[in-house]
């Protein structure tokens, strides 16, 4: 079972939903989720905010943050996840922002990626990635990573307990 299928299954079982805010992945996260039969039970929709302007205008990312630090930033990813959750009326929001390459952007080298999850209580988690590979590989790994981050948040503390118990066997 794919990570997308696991995530959607868990969300549907809980009666929860997810929305996606994407930049460098350009819709690939949404495509991965909607490839799963029955995705509409938990997937609300997505916003591909490829330009910095849309990150502010549509998702509500702070204009000063974007001006001072650029779009390739962990706080931008967090605000994107929170913004898409609100804009699309979902329980969970996930986001990707970064540089797929081939060249740098905002002073950041290709492979610099930030992902984030915002949960129903408005709190979340973000992660910074340093990826290698082609543009396509960086984008694919960003999709895998953000879905993995969401899965970890959905599993919560039980995942750490399971890992600890299995590690001793």
What per-residue confidence (pLDDT) applies to 106? 83
Q: Judge whether 46 and 20 are in contact, CB under 8 Å.
A: yes
pLDDT, tens digit (0-9, with 9 covering 90-100), for 43-68 = 999 999 999 999 999 999 999 999 99
Query: What does the alpha-carbon distance between residue 20 and residue 42 come to, in Å, rounded to a whole number?
Result: 12
What is the tens place of the pLDDT at every residue in 16-34?
999 999 999 999 999 999 9
How is the chain split into domains, by residue range?
3-167
How far, CA to CA in Å, does 169 sit from each of 53, 137, 159, 163, 166? 51, 35, 16, 10, 5
Contact 81, 95 (CB under 8 A): yes
- Read off the pLDDT band of 157 (50, 70, 90): confident
The CATH architecture assigned to 3-167 reads Alpha-Beta Complex (3.90)
């Amino acid at each position: 079972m794919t990570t997308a299928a696991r995530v959607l299954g868990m969300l549907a079982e809980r009666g929860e939903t997810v929305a996606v805010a994407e930049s460098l992945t350009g819709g690939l996260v949404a495509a991965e989720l909607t490839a799963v039969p029955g995705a509409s039970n938990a997937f609300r929709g997505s916003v591909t905010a490829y330009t910095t302007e849309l990150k502010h205008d549509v998702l509500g990312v702070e204009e000063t943050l974007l001006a001072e630090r650029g779009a390739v930033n962990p706080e931008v990813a967090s605000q994107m996840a929170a913004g898409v959750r609100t804009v699309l009326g979902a329980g969970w929001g996930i986001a990707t922002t970064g540089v797929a390459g081939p060249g740098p952007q905002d002073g950041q080298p290709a492979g610099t990626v930030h992902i984030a999850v915002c949960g129903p209580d408005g709190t979340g988690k973000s992660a910074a990635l340093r990826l290698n590979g082609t543009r396509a590989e960086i984008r694919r790994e960003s999709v895998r990573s953000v879905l993995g981050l969401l899965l970890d948040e959905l599993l919560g503390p039980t995942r750490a307990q399971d890992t600890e118990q299995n590690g001793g066997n």
